Structure 1
Amino acid sequence: MEMKIDTSIKQVIPSFKVGMIHYRGISVDESPQMLKGRLRLYQEKIYFDLETKKVTDVEGIKEWRELFKKIGTDPSRYRPSHEAIFRRIQKQQYLQTIHSAVDLNNFFSLQYEIPFGIYDADQLTGDITLQIGDEGLEYEALNGRIVNMHHKLVTCDTTGPFGSPIVDSKRTAVQLSTKNAVQIIYLRPSMQIEEATKMINSISNMFTQIHGGEANYEIITCN
């Protein structure tokens, strides 16, 4: 399975890049207490930080809001997923644990201030394309709503759209039965490749420490 960035993005944001990690032979379960504790403590830290600054002043959120504007998405109407979580935390609506894969994905998103997506690889078909959505491109999201991806960043396989840095689809959601997964890290365009590589290596190591299995990763750029 390969991933490419469509020319529709390259023309607008030539510095755009994403990381992709393939996990094989993993075991998804209830989150260990260590992860639950770290996720809770990190949310409490963010809550206190946001008492003295706005959500939109967080560097990772600020950069992603600007990116959304460039591709034609109103970030005040359709928020990047990590901004949505920050806003929940600001209201002390802390995330509830779901399972180890989703909880760790959310922890990474908060830690690095960028959107993350994780998908059941066995529910994906063919290669993945990241593009700016055309009119009529839609899917059933994790929240049960049908989301239209027109003028929004969207990932598609040969079956159709399945994910975005806004909200992901039910079709490819990771379950307790998932054995193989694909994680997409929506990097900041300003991040250098060397820094991104170190970050993604650290992410894959922590994920396999909790879930077992094997991981290999790559960074996809517009070049």
Structure 2
Amino acid sequence: MFPITFSSEIHEKLPALRLGCLWAEVEVQPSGPLLLQLIDEACSQISGKLAIDTISSLPVIRAAREGYKATGKKPGRYRPSAEALLRRVVSGKGLYQISNVVDVINLTSITTHYSIGGYDAGQLRGPVELGIGQEGEPYQAIARGELNIGGLPALRDAQGAFGSPTSDSERSSIQTHSRFVVLVFFDFGGHAGLMQKLLDTELLLAQHCSGSAFERKIFSTY
């Protein structure tokens, strides 16, 4: 476990922000049939209940969008990842199948509505701080290439930005060789039940990713 601090800008512009963090030792491999069944069932339930134009009004999503506006980013162009995943599910496209760990993260995101960063803890160096991205700051997003993180909440270590609630970075991405991971739930509104969501995710990682050595902590700006 390592601490995450907040920049003065985050304290000023996002006074209700919390980060729910879950550390785990895992075995990364393709998702098994039981996990894929859980994902299919969740996608079916969500697509039957939600419409595209109602996603942005979900409380957790709405708080994230308001947070983006506060830090200077247009949420309609740079959507929080949970909103983007839900739009994909409601459109009938389902979720990408990446690996058991990433698939658990995406399943948790669409069911809790939190944007969740998933990082290989072994790739992180030095202290970690959440700040606001700068224009032109280097950031290679997974499957997207260079992402303009100017105005986005951005996690940084000693090597620079590695995470945001819009997209994870290539540098810290979870790969088949990853063993120790950290999941970061971006909670922009201080919503109830965040610790329980971490515990629920811990159970999924234990069941489907041989997860062990769990540690969890909520960091807040208040």
Q: TM-score w.r.t. structure 2 length?
A: 0.93
Q: Which amino acid is 2:166 matched to?
A: I
Structure 2, unaligned stretches of length 5 or more? none
Q: Which amino acid is 1:125 matched to?
A: R
- Secondary structure of the residue aligned to 1:183 is strand
CA contact (8 A) 2:10 2:131 kept: yes
CA contact (8 A) 1:208 1:214 kept: no
Q: CA offset at residue 51 of structure 1? A: 4.2
Other-structure match for 1:204: 202
Runs of 4+ in 1 over 4 A off after TM superposition: none
Other-structure match for 1:221: 220
Structure 1, unaligned stretches of length 5 or more? none
1:164-175 alignment runs, 5 A limit? 164-175=164-175
Other-structure match for 1:136: 136
Give a deviation string over 1:106-144, Cα, whole Å, max 9, x none. 000011011001111111111211111122212111014
- Quickly say closer, same or farther: Cα 1:22–1:61, change in 2 above 3 A: same
Q: CA offset at residue 210 of structure 1? A: 2.3
Other-structure match for 1:12: 13
Q: CA RMSD in A?
A: 1.6
CA contact (8 A) 2:142 2:170 kept: yes
Q: Which amino acid is 2:218 matched to?
A: I
Q: CA offset at residue 37 of structure 1? A: 0.7
1:1-223 alignment runs, 5 A limit? 1-24=2-25, 26-51=26-51, 54-192=54-192, 195-212=193-210, 213-223=212-222
Q: TM-score w.r.t. structure 1 length?
A: 0.92
Q: CA offset at residue 82 of structure 1? A: 0.8
Distance 1:5 1:56 in 2: 26
- Secondary structure of the residue aligned to 2:217 is strand
Distance 1:95 1:75 in 2: 21
CA contact (8 A) 2:122 2:181 kept: yes
Distance 2:175 2:45 in 1: 29
Distance 1:43 1:78 in 2: 23
Give a deviation string over 1:76-132, Cα, whole Å, max 9, x none. 111000111111122211113111001000000011011001111111111211111
CA contact (8 A) 1:102 1:118 kept: yes
Q: Which amino acid is 1:45 matched to?
A: Q
CA contact (8 A) 2:60 2:187 kept: no
- Quickly say closer, same or farther: Cα 1:217–1:51, change in 2 above 3 A: closer
Number of residue equivalences: 220
Q: CA offset at residue 147 of structure 1? A: 0.8
